[in-house]
Amino acid sequence: MSLLSVRNLCKNYGALEVTRNVSLDVAPGELHAIIGPNGAGKTTLIGQLSGQNAPDSGSVSLEGRDITRRSMAERVRLGLARSFQITSILPRFSVLENVAIAVQARSGSSYRFFAPVAQEAALNDAAMAALADAGLEDRAGLRASALSHGEHRRLELAIALATQPKVLLLDEPLAGTGGEEAEAFVQRLRALKGRYATVLIEHDMEAVFALADRISVLVYGEIIASGSPEVIRNDPKVRAAYLGDEEAA
Ligand SMILES: Nc1ncnc2c1ncn2[C@@H]1O[C@H](COP(=O)(O)OP(=O)(O)O)[C@@H](O)[C@H]1O
Ligand SMILES: [Mg+2]
C-alpha cells in the first residue's frame, strides 16, 4: 500500500521545466531518498509535497486522500511534516519549550480537557519523547541558542517529530554538518526507520546509500531511475548522469 502517492506532477517556472511528470510512491515506514544534482528540482518537489508551492498539474495523495490543493497547515494536521527551511526555532526559549510548542500546535484543543497541571505534564512527556527520538534529551533545559549546529538540526527534527507525522519530509538535513554531527543525525534517522515514512533529500551519498530503502534520481526535473540502493548504484544511466565515477558508498 502506498501512504504517499505522487502522480504526474509538472511545474514550470517560465521556460524552465522544474518538475517533469514526476510520479513516486512512499510505503508506510519506507525511507525514500531523492538524489540529484544541484538545480534538479528536489527542493521544489518537496515544496509541492508540503504545500509550499503548487504544481501546475498532477496530484499528491496521502492515505488515498487527494491533498494537492490543501494548505501547508492542513497537510501538517493530516500527517505531513516538513523539517528545515520552514521551522523557526525560538532561540531564547528552552529546547524543551520549542518542542512543547510544536506538540501543542499539533494537538490543538485536545489537551484542554486536562487540568492545567496535567496538561503541562502531558505536553512535557510528549516533548521529551520527541527530544529522545532526536537524541537531545540531555539538552532539554538549555536555551535553543546554546545548541551546536548539529544539535540545532536535530532540534528541528524533534519539532517535526512532535507533530506525530505519518510522513517526514527532510530536505538536506546534513547540510552544514560534518563528521560526528552528521553521524549522530544518521544514527537518529536509522533508529527512526520503520516508524515513519520518510522522504529524504541528501547530498551525502554515504548516508543515502546506508539509509534508503528506495532511491529516486531526479535530473532536470525528471525521475530517471527509481529502485533499491543496489539497483541505483549499478544503473548506467544514473552513473552517467549523476554518480559519475565517484563510487557511491
Ligand atoms: N520560485 C522560483 N522561480 C523561478 N525559478 C525557480 C524558483 N524556485 C526554484 N527555481 C529554479 O528551479 C530549479 C530547481 O531548483 P530547486 O528545486 O531548488 O533544485 P534543487 O533543490 O534540486 O537544487 C533551479 O534552476 C532554480 O533556480
Ligand atoms: Mg535544494
Which ligand minimizes its atom distance to the CA of 35?
Answer: 1
Q: Do residues 147 and 177 share a domain? A: no
**Residue at which a domain ends, from 108, 137, 162:** 162
pLDDT tens profile 125-165: 999 999 999 999 999 999 999 999 899 999 999 999 998 89
Q: Do residues 14 and 27 share a domain? A: yes
Q: How confident is the model at residue 84 (pLDDT cuts 50, 70, 90)?
A: low
Cell numbers linked to 148: 551546536
Q: Do residues 70 and 11 share a domain? A: yes
Q: Supply the residue whose CA is at minimum distance from atom 18 of ligand 1.
A: 43
Cell numbers linked to 158: 524533534
Q: How confident is the model at residue 42 (pLDDT cuts 50, 70, 90)?
A: very high
Give the separation between CA 142 and CA 11, rounded to whole angstroms: 43
Q: Which domain holds residue 4?
A: 1-85+166-249
Burial 163-201 (b: 16+ CB within 10 A, else e): bbbbbbbbbbbbeebeeebbebbbebbeebbeebbbbbb
Kindly report the average pLDDT of the chain as a whole number.
90
The total number of structural domains in the chain stands at 2
pLDDT tens profile 3-12: 999 999 999 9
Q: Are strands 80-83 and 16-26 parallel, antiparallel or unpaired?
A: unpaired
Q: Do residues 233 and 182 share a domain? A: yes
Q: Do residues 30 and 47 share a domain? A: yes
**Residue at which a domain ends, from 144, 162, 180:** 162
Q: Do residues 111 and 79 share a domain? A: no
* Distance from the alpha carbon of residue 171 to the mean position of ligand 2, in angstroms: 7
Q: Do residues 76 and 173 share a domain? A: yes
Residues whose beta carbon lies within 6 Å of some atom of ligand 1: 13, 16, 18, 36, 38-44
**Residue at which a domain ends, from 135, 162, 189:** 162
**CATH code: domain of residue 223:** 3.40.50.300
pLDDT tens profile 89-108: 899 999 999 999 888 877 76
Residues with CB under 5 A from ligand 2 (ion): 42-43
Residue 167 φ/ψ, nearest 5 degrees: -130, 130
Q: Do residues 70 and 96 share a domain? A: no
Q: Is the pTM of this model over 0.85?
A: yes
* Distance from the alpha carbon of residue 142 to the mean position of ligand 1, in angstroms: 36
* Distance from the alpha carbon of residue 4 to the mean position of ligand 1, in angstroms: 23
Q: Do residues 23 and 35 share a domain? A: yes
